[in-house]
Amino acid sequence: MSRAIFVYEPSLSGYTLSEGHPFKPVRLELTRSLLYDAELLTAEQEVLPQALDEGLLYSIHDSRYIEAVKAVSQGKRLAQAYTFGLGTADNPIFPAMHEAVSSVCAATVTAVELVASGQAQRAVNLAGGLHHALAAKASGFCIYNDLAVGIEHAVKRHGLRVAYLDLDAHHGDGVQWLFYERPEVMTISLHESGRYLFPGTGHTFELGKGAGRGTSVNVPLEPFTEDDSFLECFEAVVPAALAAFKPDLLVLQAGADMHRYDPLADLAISTGAMWQSYQRVSELADQYCQGRLVATGGGGYDPYRTVPRAWALLWAALSRQPAPELVPEAWRSRWQPISPDQLPTHFFDDVSAWPPIARRAEIASYNRAVAARVLQTLTPIWQSS
């Protein structure tokens, strides 16, 4: 089966964290409309999220934390809200917050269930990817960790070994820590180094613990890393990690904030390199997981110019379609009136028009050494297990 499914429901993009917040769920509507205008998505490929078994939330998150989220979502004042990371600038409290983020979890679990049960080979929930949420704390725009909830469902319900690959500019800390001692889940993250960027984690010495030692794989990249260096590090580490782990299911967090235009990170990746990485992920899923692949969105704070193109390319790669060249005029005409930037005419960036980055060779050399150190450290652990 090669069927690809797009999990969607309008309410997934129908909430706002706060006025002026950089996390804009409208990205989902921007992307979905682009997919339709580019003839990459049909109504037959869309499915509604199924109701979430709330027990899955409690299997990942502390019960006191969930009850706190529910309370503040109903407008109740809670003295310890700030202790749970709620009510901060990053994670403001908004009405029906519990219901809104639970629906994101439901969509990711639906995607996982469709693939794990064999009803689809690939499934995408672009509203998901909330990888910073911790067991008892909101963090980095993330209240509940839909990825961890979905992975737990695959492990407990279907007995699968899950490899989680995070290509967001920010380290996938929440997913890593939640499975840090679990041998049935491998987390792999390529991200801007935590020496410079939130959440400050994702160092090469974070390897997993106890039975999970060797299942945490981190490739921290230098700021201003460009396409060639990013793809080189990906190719050096990711296939080797998957070969050692032998997963049954691959889960991808495809944050679009690695792009050069993103205002909250300092990587300098183009949509061309993102497309290449998505294609490789698709190939690796075929090689190691019989094609089984679930993908979510994630970061991406240039919501009009970058995120829709990146995620449209993600869907094209996972649904085994060629990448389109031109952004449809109908889509640009629809969204240009509310976009603060001129919308691009092409899916792939013209990188020759970008100003050159200083220290290019030095950055690439540093990243190469990091990737080599990761393999040097982890390979003996993999070989001994």
State phi, psi for 316 to the nearest 5 degrees.
-60, -45
Q: What is the pLDDT along the chain (385 residues), one digit of tens a residue?
A: 469 999 999 999 989 999 999 999 999 999 999 999 999 999 999 999 999 999 999 999 999 999 999 999 999 998 889 999 999 999 999 999 999 999 999 999 999 999 999 999 999 999 999 999 999 999 999 999 999 999 999 999 999 999 999 999 999 999 999 999 999 999 999 999 999 999 999 999 999 999 999 999 999 999 999 999 999 999 999 999 999 999 999 999 999 999 999 999 999 999 999 999 999 999 999 999 999 999 999 999 999 999 999 999 999 999 999 999 999 999 999 999 999 999 999 999 999 999 999 999 999 999 999 999 999 999 999 999 7
**For this structure, is 132 an active site residue?**
yes
Residue 165: which H helix or E strand, with range? strand 162-166
pLDDT for residue 79: 87
What is the C-alpha separation between 101 and 96, in angstroms, rounded? Answer: 9
pLDDT for residue 385: 79
Residue 191: which H helix or E strand, with range? strand 185-192
Q: Is 229 strand, coil or helix? A: helix
Relative orientation angle of helices 271-289 and 307-318, to the nearest 10 degrees: 30
User: Is 3.40.800.20 the CATH classification of the domain at 4-349+363-384?
Assistant: yes
pLDDT for residue 291: 97
pLDDT for residue 1: 45
Query: Which residue is catalytic, options 61, 98, 131, 132?
Result: 132
The tokens for 65 are 């934390």
